[in-house]
């Protein structure tokens, strides 16, 4: 069983719509959760971090964390073609010496 799971997609949404990206994790003791965006041919860049249950908003991005259900999601409002990228979920587990585990990513395409 993978520690961090994401739907690989591709996920397509029309410009201006809300894009919803989901991630589940296996370690109930996980404490820290991150969303990275990776454009084709580029390195991942951090867009959101969340540590507590609930919602965290930053501009058009909202991260949602539900530790009881072990999922974290990312909502992108008013999606733009420039949001087209692969979105990676990353989790810091409680007992992992490695600390940070990435999901395989969800490819998002925003259609003009």
Partner 1 sequence: GAGVSQSPSNKVTEKGKDVELRCDPISGHTALYWYRQSLGQGLEFLIYFQGNSAPDKSGLPSDRFSAERTGGSVSTLTIQRTQQEDSAVYLCASSRPGGLGSPLHFGNGTRLTVT
Q: Which residues bind partner 1 (CB under 8 A)?
A: 31-32, 34, 42-46, 49, 51, 88, 90, 92, 97-105
- In degrees and rounded to multiples of 5, residue 83 shows phi and psi of -80, -10
With CA atoms as reference, report the closest residue to 61 among 101, 20, 31. Answer: 20
Bridge-partner residues for 29, per DSSP? none
Residue closer to partner 1 (CB basis): 11 or 17: 11
User: Least CB distance from residue 16 to partner 1, whole Å?
Assistant: 28
Q: Between 25 and 34, whose beta carbon lies closer to partner 1?
A: 34
The residue (of 76 and 92) whose beta carbon lies closer to partner 1 is 92
For residues 15 and 45, which CB has a smaller minimum distance to partner 1 in the complex? 45
The three-class DSSP label of residue 85 is strand
- Rounded to a whole number of angstroms, the minimum distance from the CB of residue 88 to partner 1 is 7
At closest approach, how far in Å is the CB of 71 from partner 1? Answer: 18
What is the largest distance, in Å, between two alpha-carbon atoms of the chain?
A: 44
**Closest distance of CB 12 from partner 1, Å:** 17
Specify whether the backbone of 105 is left (phi greater than 0), alpha (psi in -120 to 50) or beta: left
Residue with tokens 């420039």: 82
């Amino acid at each position: 069983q993978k520690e961090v799971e994401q739907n690989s997609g591709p996920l397509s949404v029309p410009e201006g719509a809300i894009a919803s990206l989901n991630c589940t994790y296996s370690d109930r003791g996980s404490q820290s959760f991150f969303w990275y965006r990776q454009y084709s041919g580029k390195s991942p860049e951090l867009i959101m971090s969340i540590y507590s249950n609930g919602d965290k908003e930053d501009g058009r991005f909202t991260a949602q964390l539900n530790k009881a259900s072990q999922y974290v999601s990312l909502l992108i409002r008013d999606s733009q073609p420039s949001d087209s990228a692969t979105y990676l979920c990353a989790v810091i587990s409680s007992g992992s010496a490695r600390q940070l585990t990435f999901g395989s990513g969800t490819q998002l395409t925003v259609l003009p």
